């Protein structure tokens, strides 16, 4: 099911801190599948639950359409590189806005996946950037704050 994307930099749901997911219920799994479907339909490479009106710590990511989507629940960045770079980013919640954002090049993130397994991802490049962008959403931070 396609979900409605919340838009606007003053939209309250996009500005609040999200809640941790306590249990991966069938409803949570359904939300995740709908998020992936919505992300793909909008040709986004990442989506955070507040963007579909759910104040929960869930992100879905698919930087490469040939690869399966990555689901991170309660993600936490545990390490980031000193080295940063600047890349122009867009956001499904801020259509027609592009912002140059400075971020650490590589990160290590821990989270749980849809099967309630602990996972740890060390990555750089586009995946690192998308994960950081989506985790910002979980803290009510938008790219316009990064100007």
Do the bridges between strand 70-80 and strand 107-112 make them parallel or antiparallel, or are there none, so unpaired? antiparallel
Question: b/e for 72-103, b at 16 or more Cβ within 10 A?
Answer: bbbbeeeebeeeeeeeebebbbbeeeebebeb
91 binds Zn ion (CB under 5 A): yes
Task: Provide, rounded to whole angstroms, the least separation between the CB of residue 46 and Zn ion.
Answer: 7
| In the complex, minimum distance from the CB of residue 142 to Zn ion, in angstroms, rounded to a whole number | 7
130 contacts Zn ion (rule: CB under 5 A): no
Closer residue to Zn ion in complex, CB, 9/24: 9
In the annotation, is 134 catalytic?
Answer: yes
Residues labelled as active-site residues? 134
Q: Which residues bind Zn ion (CB under 5 A)?
A: 91
């Amino acid at each position: 099911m396609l979900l409605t994307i919340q838009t606007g930099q003053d939209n309250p749901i996009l500005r609040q801190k999200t809640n941790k997911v306590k249990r991966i219920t069938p409803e949570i799994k359904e939300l995740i599948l709908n998020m992936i479907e919505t992300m793909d339909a909008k040709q986004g490479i990442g989506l955070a639950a507040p963007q579909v009106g759910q104040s929960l710590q869930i992100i879905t990511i698919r930087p490469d359409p040939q690869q399966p989507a990555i689901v991170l629940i309660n993600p936490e960045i545990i390490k980031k590189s000193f080295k940063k770079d600047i890349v122009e980013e867009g956001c499904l919640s801020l259509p027609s806005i592009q912002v140059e954002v400075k971020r650490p090049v590589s990160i290590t993130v821990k989270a749980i996946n849809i099967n309630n397994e602990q996972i740890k991802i060390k990555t750089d490049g586009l995946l690192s950037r998308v994960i950081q962008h989506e985790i910002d959403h979980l803290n009510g931070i938008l790219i316009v704050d990064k100007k």
